[in-house]
Amino acid sequence: MARRFLSIWFRYLTTDWLTIRKPELQTLPFVFATPVHGRMTVTAANALAEAQGITPGNVLADAKAIIANLEVFDEKPDRAAKLLKGLGLWCIRYTPIIALDLPDGLILDISGCAHLWDGEHAYLSEIVSRLQSKGYHARAAIADTIGAAWAIARFGHGAPIVKSNELRTNLLSLPANALRLDPVVLERLQKLGLRTVKSFISMPRSALRRRFGKELLLRVDQALGEEDEPLQLIKPVEPYQERLPCMEPIRTATGIEIAIQRLLENLCQRLQEEGKGLRTAILKCYRIDGKVIKVEIGTNQASHHTGHLFKLFELKIPTIEPALGIELFILEAIKVEDVAQIQEALWGKKVGLDNPNVIELLDRIANKVGPTAIRRYLPDEHYWPERSIKQVSSLQQKPAIAWRVDRPRPIQLLPRPEPVEVAAPIPDYPPMLFIYQGKKHIIKKADGPERIEREWWIEAGEHRDYYQVEDEAGCRYWLFRSGHYTGEQSNQWFIHGFFA
């Protein structure tokens, strides 16, 4: 399939932008100006000012002499680039491949896109009419090359769509500056009377190179498609992306569900063929009013299971507000990993994290209440209790050591031990009672002590003697005394956890 490009020219880019923001300027001539070599120079003029002879490059004092009531605004160097980037992001609804064409245009690679709008004529008309309705003077053209589309958009007088077999013919009648040449080269051409493309395009290449340099030949070759021209994209295309333009705006939850289902089917089929699965995906919904609604899902392990991924997106559908309607859906898998091959067991059932149903349940919980609500811990190689476990982000990570089961450990471990008040402590025995958070607990049963030494290679300090105790209500706690027993101090006791 031949590549097709669309060039959009915003003839009055910055002045149109200001007129949209300040409608009272629609009937007034005005310009943007900035200091150049010590004097104010016009950088942009609106249509009314241009009709009276004001053009970019004019000295501001001369412009004011022509138009006495000329309005003047300060120019900002990066204004045009920011405007074009914003317009380019808006145009992503028509194609994902868009590049800036400073100072006043955009280049769209529309290969394989126009048929979604019933052909290039309807496609071009849709884009231009939408931009004009926003308040921009926009012209556009379609051709096989960037150079040809750029030239026709700015200098063409006939049809804005150039057929592949008519590329050279359409370029011949255009002026030489339609090839995006350097002003020095243009001046040389004009001095020799070579004012149109056809006046020099058939001349020997060696003569053109010798007199005008390599740039002229490069621009000719780019316009004719004999030399590739790289694009600096506004937004790099995700390698795993699916698009679904809508012929009619989608306004219902059912329509959104159907769109998500179709996107997932196409994306998951491709992922499955390549042995991949997504970990993070973003759905972008482009509304008619120009706003983009984004929803994101994540999985604990790579997945290309369409049904499961749809259930995750289904939880997010109530947050999608279609307003006047959604005209484009884009699904991007921004994080993709290899899918581990699952070996079927000959007998028995998979349990825990080996069971895919458990993984899918965790995904649904995480996407409903937030990924931070689910934590997984593995044993770590430390004796000190608060260091003996570590939090991991992956459900596939295997423990480096086995969980310790030879000694009792609480089901809930406090991040930091909290001091408790005790009564009637006896050396090498637990206390008779303790007070925690203002509540008194009388100890009925106890087991211990278990001495755990502090890891001296990490920090210095006292050892701990842990006791498993049970109060009169049947609740069990993990208490410890820091250091050796001293009869003078009762604040050496701490609570560190709760048993089931």
Element (H, E) at 295: strand 292-303
% of the chain surpassing 90 pLDDT: 60
List CB contacts of 46: < 8 A, sequence separation 6 or more: 12, 15, 16, 19, 25, 29, 30, 31
Lowest-confidence region among 106-115, 214-223, 428-437, 483-492 = 483-492
**Averaged over 112-135, what is the pLDDT?**
93
pLDDT at position 455 is 85
pLDDT at position 490 is 52
pLDDT at position 346 is 37
3-state SS assignment for residue 63: helix
Q: DSSP H helical segments within 59-177, as ranges?
A: 60-66, 79-90, 120-134, 146-155, 167-172
Question: Does position 350 have pLDDT exceeding 60, yes or no?
Answer: no
Question: Does position 47 have pLDDT exceeding 70, yes or no?
Answer: yes
Element (H, E) at 51: helix 47-51
DSSP per-residue string spanning 105-130: EEEEE-TTTGGGGTSHHHHHHHHHHH
Average pLDDT, the chain: 88
Beta-carbon count within 10 A of 34 CB: 14
DSSP assignment, residue 395? Answer: S
**Averaged over 24-39, what is the pLDDT?**
94
Strand partners, 293: 285
**Averaged over 17-34, what is the pLDDT?**
95
Strand ranges in 373-488 using DSSP code E only, listed in sequence order: 376-379, 389-392, 412-419, 421-423, 433-436, 439-452, 464-471, 476-482
pLDDT at position 372 is 67
pLDDT tens digits, one per residue of 351-378 = 455 556 666 676 677 667 766 667 777 8
> Rounded to whole angstroms, what are the CA distances from 129 to 51, 140, 208, 437?
23, 11, 41, 70
Most confident of 6-15, 438-447, 479-488: 6-15
Q: Residue 469 region, left (φ>0) first, then alpha (ψ -120 to 50), else beta?
A: beta
Q: DSSP H helical segments within 251-355, as ranges?
A: 253-273, 306-314
Q: What is the pTM of this model?
A: 0.64
**Averaged over 158-170, what is the pLDDT?**
90
In the chain, ranges of CATH 3.30.70.270 domains: 1-28+69-237
**Averaged over 286-308, what is the pLDDT?**
89
In the chain, ranges of CATH 3.30.1490.100 domains: 241-338
DSSP assignment, residue 236? Answer: P
Among candidates 16, 3, 91, 95, which has minimal Cα distance to 48? 16
Question: Does position 347 have pLDDT exceeding 50, yes or no?
Answer: no
pLDDT at position 351 is 47
Lowest-confidence region among 12-16, 214-218, 234-238, 444-448 = 234-238
pLDDT at position 10 is 97
**What CATH code is assigned to 241-338?**
3.30.1490.100
Lowest-confidence region among 181-185, 198-202, 392-396, 462-466 = 392-396
Question: Does position 327 have pLDDT exceeding 50, yes or no?
Answer: yes
Beta-carbon count within 10 A of 95 CB: 22
**Averaged over 63-83, what is the pLDDT?**
93
Q: Residue 183 region, left (φ>0) first, then alpha (ψ -120 to 50), else beta?
A: alpha
**Alpha carbons 481 and 492: distance in angstroms, whole number:** 6
pLDDT at position 489 is 54
Among candidates 76, 27, 18, which has minimal Cα distance to 49? 27
CATH superfamily of 1-28+69-237: Reverse transcriptase/Diguanylate cyclase domain (3.30.70.270)
CA atoms within 13 A on the CB side of 268: 15
pLDDT at position 424 is 66
List CB contacts of 224: < 8 A, sequence separation 6 or more: 145, 147, 148, 167, 168, 171
Torsion of CA 300, 302, 306, 307, to 10 degrees: -30
% of the chain surpassing 70 pLDDT: 91
**Alpha carbons 245 and 257: distance in angstroms, whole number:** 14
pLDDT at position 218 is 93
